Amino acid sequence: MDQPLSVSRSAPGQPPSNSTKKRRHRWIWAVILLLFALLFLWVWRQHSVSATAPAGGGRGGAMGGPVAITAATATKGSIGVYLDAIGTVTPTYLDNITAQVTGVITAVHYREGQDVRKGAPLIDIDSRPYEAQLAQAQGTLNRDQNLLAEAQMDLTRYQDAWAKNAIPRQTLEDQEKIVLQDQGTVQNDQGTVQYNQVQVGFCQIKSPIDGRVGLRQVDPGNLVTANSSTPLVVVAQIHPITVIFTLAEDSLPQVMQQMRGGKALEVDAFDRTQQTQLAKGKLITVDNQIDTVTGTVKLRAQFDNSNGLLFPNQFVNTRLLVKTLDNQTLIPSSAIQHNGATDFVYLIQSNKAVMKTVKSGISDQGNTAVTGINPGDVVANSSFQKLTNGSPIVLSKVKIPSTSSDTTEAAP
């Protein structure tokens, strides 16, 4: 007789059987695998979004409708190659005039900050002591000149007497030497007179150059001494004026190449903010050696400075125009996008934004020379975060970059 199958059940309060444990473990592993799959899917989607972001983002386009953009038209023009540097304004001539004689100042003829011409009187020093010395030297010269004239007359008489054998040879020779001595004395007196004339001239100080006078250093009644290190007046020539600036030695060959060709290189001077142009001038010289400590070389540019905006010892920003590149394709620098080392623009074709790789060149005043597109092509200049390759667009306006002083804007 068959016996009935027995079913093993866990009694209440007893631990679960092995089969129950296995089922529970399988459910736990299934949940863990599902969570890993969801996490992998989320990471993969985030990676896909970030990979497409440099190409213009993931918004707009076909999903969000046409993107409203501002566009710019590429133009054909010229652009300058500039070297920027910091410079110091330096007077063409700077004269610190000191006293050459000792005396009391009797007059000051200039006003502080006055523009003076070469030869204009500046300061007078009491010249009476030096005029007295000059008169004394002149008197000595007159006496010795008459003594020389007397000796020369005696020499003529002795020569006639010697021709008639009326006097010995020694007497004639002695008289010849006396004449030579008197000539030396007269020459010495003439030197003394000239020296005293110079001393009298030093008592009237005149401007040696055209320039501007600084603040007054002395007043009438002050005693000044000869060869003092304290200047009586400072005169600086500021019309024209120069600026000294430095360039890296690596930039020197291209500058020297232009100068050897006889080309006058233009230099613009700007204020500290680089917003206001102070003056426009020419490069006149390059220093004869490179500073081995800084690896730079000094250059000097000259400016007419007719408006007086350049002032001695003023710090300015300089821009040296090395050369001008003609027939360049120019677009606004803001229209160029970057993806690592690659530059690209969004070219507008059939109301769509098409990515176009370009090569950027020289930039100046907000424009950049590029290769890879042609003059007349229209490129996007805004809303880059909404653009992707092939996004439909709608133009708000077209901006034509300036190649001269004019900027033209035209609605499409």
- What does the pLDDT look like over 50-61, one tens digit per residue? 544 444 444 444
In Å, what is the CA distance from 12 to each residue of 16, 23, 243? 10, 19, 102
How many helices (H) and strands (E) the chain has is answered by 5, 22
Could you give the 3-state DSSP secondary structure of residue 170?
A: helix
Query: Is residue 339 domain-resident?
Result: yes
- Of 36, 53, 70, the one marking the end of a domain is 53
**Is residue 28 domain-shared with residue 75, that is, in the same domain?**
no
> How much is the average pLDDT of 233-259?
93
Residues 352 and 395 in one domain: yes
Give phi and psi for 90, each to the nearest 5.
-130, 130
- Give per-residue pLDDT as tens, 150-186: 999 999 999 999 999 989 999 999 999 999 999 999 9
| 2 vs 74, residue with greater confidence | 74
Mean pLDDT of the chain: 85
Residues 356 and 406 in one domain: yes
Characterize the bridge pairing of strands 266-270 and 315-332: antiparallel
The token pair at 8 is 């093993």
Query: What local confidence, expressed as pLDDT, does residue 16 receive?
Result: 56
Residue entry with tokens 């903010």: 273
| φ, ψ (nearest 5 deg) of residue 343 | -105, 140
What tokens does 340 get?
């690592």
Tell me which residue of 372, 371, 377 sits closest to 401, measured CA to CA: 377
Q: Based on the fold, state whether residues 357 and 404 are members of the same structural domain.
A: yes
23 or 71, greater pLDDT: 71
3-class SS of residue 182:
helix
101: left (phi over 0), alpha (psi -120 to 50) or beta: beta
Q: Tell me if 287 sits within 8 A of 246, measured CB to CB.
A: no
**Same domain? 44 vs 73:** no
Residue 324 in this model has a pLDDT that exceeds 70:
yes
Percent of the chain past pLDDT 70, that is, above it, reads 86
Can you say whether the dihedral through the CA atoms of 79, 80, 85, 86 is positive or negative?
negative
Sheet holding 94-97, edge to edge: 94-97, 233-236, 211-213, 115-116
The DSSP secondary-structure symbol of 102 reads: -
Residue 112 lies in a domain: no
User: Cα–Cα distance between 232 and 111 in angstroms, integer?
Assistant: 13
Instruction: Provide the CATH number for the domain around residue 389.
Output: 2.40.420.20
What's 291's DSSP letter? B
Q: Could you give phi then psi for residue 294, rounded to 5 degrees? A: -100, -15
- Written as one letter, the residue type at 115 is D
* Cβ–Cβ < 8 Å for 112, 216: yes
Whether residue 390 is found in the same domain as residue 341: yes
Q: For the chain, how many residues are written?
A: 412
Cα 145 from Cα 42, distance rounded (Å): 118
Same domain, 395 and 366: yes
Is 340 within a domain?
yes
Strands (E), 118-190: 121-125
Average pLDDT over residues 271-292: 93
- Residues 381 and 332 reside in one and the same domain: yes
Mean pLDDT computed over 209-216:
94
Binned at pLDDT 50, 70 and 90, residue 409 comes out as: very low
- Assess whether 337 and 372 both reside in one domain: yes
Cα 117-121-127 angle, rounded to 5 deg: 155
Bigger pLDDT: 117 vs 13: 117
On whether residue 281 sits in a domain, the answer given is no
Which range (140-154, 242-256, 338-352, 390-404) has the least confidence? 390-404
Mean pLDDT of 15-31: 72
Q: Where are the alpha helices (DSSP H) in 203-297?
A: 252-260
Confidence at residue 350, expressed as pLDDT on a 0 to 100 scale: 84
Does residue 410 register a pLDDT over 80?
no
Rounded to whole angstroms, the Cα distance separating 304 from 160 reads 72
Taking residue 189's Cβ as centre, other Cβ atoms within 10 Å add up to 20
Cα(34)–Cα(186) distance, rounded to whole angstroms? Answer: 124
End-of-domain residue from the set 35, 53, 71 = 53
Residue 382 and residue 397 share a domain: yes
For residue 360, tell me if it sits in a domain: yes
Q: Count other C-beta atoms under 10 Å from residue 191's C-beta.
A: 12
- What angle do helix axes 128-163 and 169-202 make, rounded to 10 degrees? 160
Q: Containing domain of residue 46, as a range?
A: 19-53
Question: 342 with 372, same domain?
Answer: yes
pLDDT tens-digit map of 63-95: 557 888 888 889 998 888 899 999 999 999 999
* CA-based radius of gyration for the chain: 47
Per the structure, the count of domains in the chain is 2
| Residue 29 falls inside a structural domain | yes
Residue 247 has pLDDT above 50, yes or no: yes
Tokens of 185: 């004395």
Per residue in 332-364, pLDDT (tens digit) is 999 898 888 888 998 888 888 888 889 988 888
